[in-house]
Amino acid sequence: MLDGEEHWNAVLAEILLSRRIGALHAKLVGDLISVTAQLDLAARSRRPVVALDKIIEYEEQIGPLEGAYQAAWQTVQAAPDGARRAAELDRLAATLTAAIEAVADFARQQGVEVELHRFGDSAR
């Protein structure tokens, strides 16, 4: 179902490996990877396979959110100073959170019960 994962996983790996992020961002990336993997595993194990219209719906809902955190990450990297970077890191956290919630909501709409680990809750 989520065959285009390589592109966004590369961005998530880049975020995780950066010295510019804090613990909250690493935790949110973990949440996003986890919930997406749970949905992917459930979709692959279902018989019949998830319908094409649902895959298209997923791409339409989640694609813009992936683009949002990718753009937020680019602005973090381009930030000219620490003050600007801090503001952009807040935006990155918000975009990652939106993606996590959207993937979890989509999974639940498809009858897939996903567990959010809420890695980020302890840092808030």
Mention every residue, 6+ apart, whose C-beta is less than 8 A from residue 64.
none
Q: pLDDT digits over 12-57, tens only?
A: 999 999 988 989 999 999 999 999 988 888 878 866 666 778 888 9
Task: Give the side-chain half-sphere CA count within 13 A for 92.
Answer: 30
pLDDT at 92: 97
The pLDDT value given to residue 49: 62
Instruction: Pick the more confident residue, 107 or 9.
Output: 107
List, as one string, the DSSP characters of 37-62: HHHHHHHHH-SSPPPHHHHHHHHHHH
Q: Can you give the pLDDT at residue 67?
A: 93
Instruction: Output the average pLDDT for the chain.
Output: 85
Domain boundary assignment for the chain = 5-123
Read off the tokens for 107: 């999974």
